[in-house]
Amino acid sequence: MPCTVTVGGFWGDEGKGKILSYLAVKDQVKWGVRGGVGPNAGHTVIYKGRTLKLRMLPSAVVNPNTQLGIGAGVLVNPRLLLSEVEMTGCHGRLLLDRQCAIIEDRHVEADKASAHLSGKIGTTGTGTGPCNVERVQRTVKIAEEHSELKAYLGDVAGEVNEALDRGEKVLVEGTQGTFLSLYHGTYPYVTSKDVTASSICADVGIGPTRVDEVLVVFKAYVTRVGGGFLPGELPPSEAEKRGWSETATVTGRTRRVAPFNVELAKRSVKLNGATQIALTKMDALYPECRGAKKLDQVPLEGRRFLQKIEDLLGVPVTLVGTGPDLEDVIDLRKGRI
């Protein structure tokens, strides 16, 4: 820090919500700011016995002292956003950029009715694609035109840059994963914009020289939903046998599964300019380390796995997820001791 950008390394579903919420609490960040596409991706956060499934708010919402921002590049579903504000009680600390594009009911209807996308690409049906089309055409409504959002409107880019000027900690949250990028992903099975670190910064309004750390989150194995390329894909029965079966936060679809892929990870590190790696679901590979908070609680084989990832990718693994709760993390940012 003070400015850390966090993005997904594969196709999303890497456990970014857990890592982001951990950082928000552990580092007592001043601002947690969301970039990314819109409500077509979700983060799951488990803290103090409560499970939050978030599609609009930043995962940093778990820290009551953190100011929350949603950058101008994010598509906003007002009904969904307001319901999450109500659920979390963050009314007084949310700032929504006045230039966010608004997803309307007609966008959702168009998304669901699109035979081409629904049949081939596997759209989430949340209206993000049609809304982004209108954004490019400059015909979409923006947040300052929506009366229900008036109390939350402001200049997110201005506020966040001023916070950085004061030396305050800012956590920038990406959504989805690198290989869902419209430009760098497995086209056409991708989302409707770029979601790599540089684009997430642009969504928020932070220039590249303001970023101190780029944290790429990988899972200990690879998952994706919908169609498209997935090297080394395992049959569902094998995924179940290994304890890797999962369902997506937003769609509820079963995730396709493959072992950790070093070549994809190398590509992701380059595309994002990674300076740190977070590896989640370590306990799925090595159940005996579930809930571990120290490296010596991980079996030797697991520690060798972490070292191999560091050696092959050339980037330090600084955070290791060992369970679903926010606090189930081995924090190696200050070294291996």
Which strand (E) or helix (H) includes residue 234?
none
28 domain residue, yes or no: yes
Tokens found for residue 10: 């594969």
Tokens found for residue 307: 């070292």
Tokens found for residue 11: 């196709």
Rounded to 5°, angle at Cα 150 from 43 and 97: 50
**How far is residue 132 from each of residues 137, 144, 154, measured CA to CA in Å?**
9, 17, 21
Helix, strand, coil percent values for the chain (each to nearest 5): 40, 20, 40
pLDDT at residue 248 tops 80:
no
208 domain residue, yes or no: yes
Number of structural domains (the chain) is 1
Give the chain's mean pLDDT.
93
pLDDT at residue 259 tops 50:
yes
Catalytic residues: 13, 43
pLDDT at residue 118 tops 70:
no
What pLDDT, on the 0 to 100 scale, is given for residue 48?
84
What's the rounded Cα separation, in Å, for the pair 271 and 81? 30
Residue 331 CA to its chain's centroid (Å): 19
Which strand (E) or helix (H) includes residue 273?
none
Give the CATH number, domain containing residue 107.
3.40.440.10
pLDDT at residue 17 tops 80:
yes
Would you place residue 122 in the very low, low, confident or very high pLDDT band (cuts 50, 70, 90)?
low
Mean pLDDT of 150-167: 98
- Report the range of poorest mean pLDDT among 144-158, 225-239, 245-259: 245-259
Whether cis (ω within 30° of 0) applies to the bond prior to 130 is: no
206 domain residue, yes or no: yes
pLDDT above 90: percentage of residues in the chain: 86
What's the rounded Cα separation, in Å, for the pair 39 and 282? 27
163 domain residue, yes or no: yes
pLDDT at residue 117 tops 80:
no
Closest CA to 291 of 324, 337, 318: 324
Q: Parallel, antiparallel, or unpaired: how do β-strands 221-224 and 256-259 relate?
A: antiparallel
62 domain residue, yes or no: yes
Would you place residue 291 in the very low, low, confident or very high pLDDT band (cuts 50, 70, 90)?
very high
What pLDDT, on the 0 to 100 scale, is given for residue 251?
64
180 domain residue, yes or no: yes
Domain region containing 134: 3-331
pLDDT at residue 272 tops 70:
yes
What pLDDT, on the 0 to 100 scale, is given for residue 311?
97
Handedness of CA 73, 75, 78, 80 (dihedral sign): negative
pLDDT above 70: percentage of residues in the chain: 95
What pLDDT, on the 0 to 100 scale, is given for residue 49?
84
209 domain residue, yes or no: yes
More confident residue, 50 or 116: 50
What pLDDT, on the 0 to 100 scale, is given for residue 116?
52
Whether cis (ω within 30° of 0) applies to the bond prior to 188 is: yes
List all residues 6 or more positions away from 183 whose beta carbon is below 8 Å from its beta carbon: 194
336 domain residue, yes or no: no
What's the rounded Cα separation, in Å, for the pair 246 and 159? 38
Would you place residue 337 in the very low, low, confident or very high pLDDT band (cuts 50, 70, 90)?
very low
Tokens found for residue 81: 């956003």
pLDDT at residue 186 tops 80:
yes
Closest CA to 304 of 285, 287, 276, 322: 285
Q: Parallel, antiparallel, or unpaired: how do β-strands 31-34 and 67-70 relate?
A: parallel
